[in-house]
Amino acid sequence: MKHIFLNLKRFDIPKDKGGVNSIAPIQEWGKYIVSNTQEQLKAYAGEDVEFVMYFPEAHLISAANALEENSMVQVGCQSVYREDTAVGGNFGAFTTNRTANAVKAMGCTSTIIGHCEERKDKAGILSEAGVTDTAAVNRLLNKEIKAAIKAGLSVLYCIGESSEEQPRWQEVLKEQLSTGLDGVDTSKVTIAYEPIWAIGPGKIPPDQEYITMIGSFIKEVTGGLDVVYGGGLKVDNAKMLASIPVMDGGLIALTRFQGEIGYYPDEYLEIIRTYFS
């Protein structure tokens, strides 16, 4: 199966507040994105492919309510809390936390866990607490993955190495996989590889040979789990990524990187057309 994931981060914030949103009023943002893509994605109904969009929590209900019958779009959330409600147990004492049962009830079918921005946040909190165990983040993510799957969500699990970690990338990625997926039903998991060392202005992205090497390594370690490129699926690299046999799709974020930067549904659809052309 091919997978095209979309991580909408906090692209809902208007430009006058420092964000990149100029496509719709924030109250209608989630509905707008689903409504302006799902009809066109029906062209891929005969393909073995899934399209998942990860929204900020505030937009999950409007996005899910915009789904038409037999829509190709799946609505997902951006990670979940490591604990959850249970019949006869905790009935909702999770102030500030987004549980998997909550987002499942809103209409989500998937979640993205371990994105480099989430990893950075957790590592920062642990550092403030004096925790130096580098595997602690992976243990927390493992609990999130298990909570998500228990609630009936599929998981896009992100892994990747920083520039400081790149000389020992095999060790780093293997630790993220072995600890993060320990005891997990991996039939519900897809892996996204994020080359953190190459993300950002002025950075040189990995080439086809490097991505092939990483994808092969991940499949070997995980026993053949599907792997997508999380360094950013774009029009510029879509054909190249589609040509790599060991890669099973990609993760889109921004669609425009110059001028009026941001996410635009028509450009999202153009990336998909290029990938499958």
CATH number at 19 reads: 3.20.20.70
- Positions marked active-site: 115, 194
> What does the alpha-carbon distance between residue 135 and residue 180 come to, in Å, rounded to a whole number?
9
> What does the alpha-carbon distance between residue 18 and residue 7 come to, in Å, rounded to a whole number?
19
* Residue 276: its H or E element: helix 265-276
pLDDT of residue 203: 85
Amino acid identity of residue 125, one-letter, is I
Q: pTM value? A: 0.98
Query: Mind listing the pLDDT tens digit for each residue in 165-211?
Result: 999 999 999 999 999 999 999 999 999 999 999 987 778 999 999 99
Half-sphere exposure of 210 (CA within 13 A, CB side): 13
CA triple 218-224-229, angle to 5 deg:
50
In terms of residue numbers, what domain contains 20?
2-276
Query: Mind listing the pLDDT tens digit for each residue in 39-66?
Result: 999 999 999 999 999 999 999 999 999 9
> Beta-carbon neighbour count of residue 252 at 10 Å?
24
Two tokens, residue 99: 């549980």
Q: Which residue has the tokens 């949103």?
A: 21
pLDDT of residue 202: 78
Report how many domains make up the chain: 1
pLDDT of residue 142: 98
Query: Mind listing the pLDDT tens digit for each residue in 208-250?
Result: 999 999 999 999 999 999 999 999 999 999 999 999 999 999 9
Q: Which residue has the tokens 């072995």?
A: 178
pLDDT of residue 93: 98
